């Protein structure tokens, strides 16, 4: 009986929204955890690790606002004052928690992202291929909304350092090092090709929008977990009085997602070579 009531209530909500135009604003909190051991953390004391994580807090914990209507959305990081000595802006820890602005228009099949990478501004165009979500039967309550589960596998963002892992060191595990003939036994950082994404969406707000790059479900996405990053909606306002204009970003060098990923890949290879040159002896480059 409870399930019947829930589905009837959801259907009523969908029909009510479908009969009129509406706008909305959703605030999201993004948090990324980081395994210090994957970044040479073994050479730091627990106190040093704590200090490093505190300095990176502004990079690993962010808040965003999603303004949306039936077909468009604009997702932007909320500005905040940077603490002295805080985390730098050189690269992003995760495609979900990076800065910049993401615009989507499902009606016109337009997706644009304006973002900064190593001091350069890019305007990235994406295709709007329907994400390959698998809808589940699980549900849970998120605030005042009933949310349903959906999952998919996606390729890891080339600039997403949070999912990188260090390969086995030859002097720590000789058997594992022998099996790996790709030089990963030297402690080199490596990246998984795909990551499982779990999303929770509510049909009570029948728009295909969501935080970051995520969209394409039959309801607003309220929560996303992907690798070491979790994004949770903390506030929703329907038809806000301070309605924001949803407009395409225009700032940055125009580039396709494919070409941008090539730029990122080259920069990551440069960083990996520098890291390997410093840390290949297992002493973080301080052995001399």
Instruction: Kindly indicate the confidence band of residue 140, based on its pLDDT and cuts at 50, 70 and 90.
Output: very high
* 3-class SS shares of the chain: helix, strand, coil, % to 5: 25, 35, 40
Place of tokens 């290949």: 280
Question: pLDDT at position 20, please?
Answer: 66
Lowest mean pLDDT among 16-20, 61-65, 121-125, 132-136: 16-20
User: What is the reported pLDDT for 91?
Assistant: 44
Task: Tell whether the model's pLDDT for residue 98 goes beyond 90.
Answer: no
Give the pLDDT band (50/70/90) at residue 282.
very low
- Asked if pLDDT for residue 189 goes beyond 90, the answer is no
Provide the pairing of β-strand 220-226 with 194-202: antiparallel
Q: From the centroid of its chain, how far is CA 84?
A: 25
Residues 6+ apart with CB under 8 A from 168: 176, 177, 180, 184, 185, 187
Between 275 and 154, the more confident residue is 154
State residue 275's pLDDT score: 66
Q: Residues 226-257: pLDDT tens digits?
A: 998 999 999 999 999 887 889 999 999 999 99
3-state secondary structure of 181: coil
Whether the CB-CB separation of 192 and 153 falls below 8 Å is answered with no
pLDDT of 56 reads 66
Q: Is the per-residue pLDDT at 8 higher than 50?
A: no
Q: What phi and psi values does residue 108 have, to the nearest 5 degrees? A: -100, 0
Cβ contact 282:168 at 8 Å: no
* CB 160, CB 197: distance < 8 Å: no
Query: Does the structure show a pLDDT above 90 at 184?
Result: no
Q: What is the pLDDT of residue 243?
A: 74
- Cα–Cα distance for residue pair 245/233, rounded to 1 Å: 21
- Span 63-68, mean pLDDT? 96
**pLDDT reported for residue 92:** 47
CA torsion angle for 254, 260, 266, 268 (degrees, to 10)? 120
pTM of the entire predicted model: 0.74
Closest-CA residue to 204 (of 215, 219, 217, 214): 219
Q: Which of 1-5, 156-160, 218-222, 232-236 has the lowest mean pLDDT?
A: 1-5
Q: What's the mean pLDDT in 107-130?
A: 92
Average pLDDT estimate for 113-117: 92
């Amino acid at each position: 009986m409870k399930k019947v009531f829930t589905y009837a209530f959801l259907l009523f909500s969908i029909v009510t929204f479908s009969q009129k135009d509406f706008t909305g604003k959703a605030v999201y909190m993004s948090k990324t955890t980081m395994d210090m051991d994957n970044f040479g953390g073994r050479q730091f004391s627990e106190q040093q690790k704590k200090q490093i994580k505190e300095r990176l807090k502004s990079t690993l914990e962010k808040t965003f606002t999603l303004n949306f209507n039936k077909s468009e959305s604009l997702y932007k990081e909320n500005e905040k004052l940077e603490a002295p000595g805080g985390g730098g802006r050189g690269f992003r820890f995760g495609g979900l928690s990076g800065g910049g602005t993401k615009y989507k228009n499902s009606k016109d099949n337009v997706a644009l992202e304006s973002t900064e990478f190593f001091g350069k501004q890019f305007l990235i165009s994406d295709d709007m291929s329907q994400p390959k979500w698998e809808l589940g039967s699980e549900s849970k309550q998120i605030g005042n909304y009933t949310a349903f589960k959906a999952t998919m596998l996606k390729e890891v963002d080339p600039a997403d350092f949070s999912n990188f892992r260090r390969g086995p060191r030859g002097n720590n595990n000789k058997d594992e090092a022998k099996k790996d003939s790709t030089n990963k036994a030297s402690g080199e950082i490596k990246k998984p090709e795909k990551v499982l994404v779990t999303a929770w969406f509510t049909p009570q707000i029948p728009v295909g929008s969501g935080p970051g790059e995520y969209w394409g479900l039959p309801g607003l996405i309220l929560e996303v977990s992907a690798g070491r990053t979790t994004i949770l909606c903390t506030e929703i306002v329907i038809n806000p009085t301070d309605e924001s204009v949803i407009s395409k970003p225009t700032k940055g060098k125009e580039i396709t997602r494919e070409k941008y990923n090539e730029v990122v890949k080259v920069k990551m290879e440069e960083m990996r070579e520098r890291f390997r040159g410093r840390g290949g002896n297992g002493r973080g480059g301080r052995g001399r």
